[in-house]
Amino acid sequence: MNIEIKKSYDELSRFAALEIKKLIDEKPNCVLGLATGSTPIGLYKELVKLHKEGEIDFSKITTFNLDEYRGLDGDHNQSYRYFMDDNLFNHINIDKNNTFVPNGVAQDVDDECKKYEELMEEKGGVDIQVLGIGVNGHIGFNEPNKHLYMDTHIEDLTDETISSNLRFFSSREEMPTQAITMGIGSIMKAKRIILLISGKNKADIVAKLFSGKITTELPASILQIHNNCTVVLDEEAASLLNK
């Protein structure tokens, strides 16, 4: 893994946006893998800014999101479809027909997962996958467990993830307990991965991530064997790393 340590969250976001701009300059019809959560919001702001300045044309871009809450449809203001529209897609010239997020209310979940996986393949695979990380080391919604899944699948959220994401919902009853997520295999197939980690509350998991072990109990640790993965940290997230 290549490591980039940036002074601030703004610098981290700018760095990631410029990496994506570089890819789009080289390959205007590239496929982007996108993430949700608070971490990539700064990146999306930068991409919108670059687009408004005439620096990025998204008209030929295809996107695949990592995950979606089971039980929320795209109109729900905490669904990841809503998040993506609100933070990025509504502000750039992307064709929304080319933006894919798993359907959280699909009747046949297995079929939805299978089709999502096939569609990624059909579109030529993901060129850059943006990732955040959960405080428990999850990527997408691949939670720490004895085993991890290869392909897009349905995942039970851990209590830790539910507690951590509860802040976005008005009550625990409203918070979904499952999600559809790309699998570890789907993520690892991306040609390049950019993992963004910001803030003091991620410093512990960052220290564990760089302890030289790979374990399904820390799903992000598998990224160590990807041949083109860049981890971008701000100084707070990097604060417990040995220099």
> Rule CB under 6 A: which residues touch ligand GLP?
35-39, 66-67, 132-134, 140-141, 161, 165
* Alpha helices (H) in the chain, listed in sequence order: 9-26, 41-52, 80-87, 109-122, 159-165, 184-188, 203-209
Nearest approach in angstroms of CB 53 to ligand GLP is 26
* Minimum CB distance to ligand GLP smaller for 13 or for 62: 13
Three-state DSSP state, 130: strand
* Minimum CB distance to ligand GLP smaller for 58 or for 141: 141
Q: How far apart are the first and last CA of the chain?
A: 16
Instruction: Tell me the C-alpha distance between 221 and 206, whole Å.
Output: 10
* Minimum CB distance to ligand GLP smaller for 57 or for 160: 160
- The conformation of residue 197, written as its DSSP 8-state character, comes to E
Residue type for position 41: I
Nearest approach in angstroms of CB 132 to ligand GLP is 3
* Minimum CB distance to ligand GLP smaller for 132 or for 176: 132
205-213 own/partner pairs: CB under 8 Å, 24+ apart: 205/133, 205/134, 205/135, 205/136, 205/137, 206/233, 206/237, 206/238, 206/240, 206/241, 207/240, 207/241, 208/137, 209/133, 209/137, 210/241
Active site residues: 67, 136, 138, 143
Cα 9 vs. chain centroid, distance in angstroms?
Answer: 17
Nearest approach in angstroms of CB 17 to ligand GLP is 16
Nearest approach in angstroms of CB 184 to ligand GLP is 13
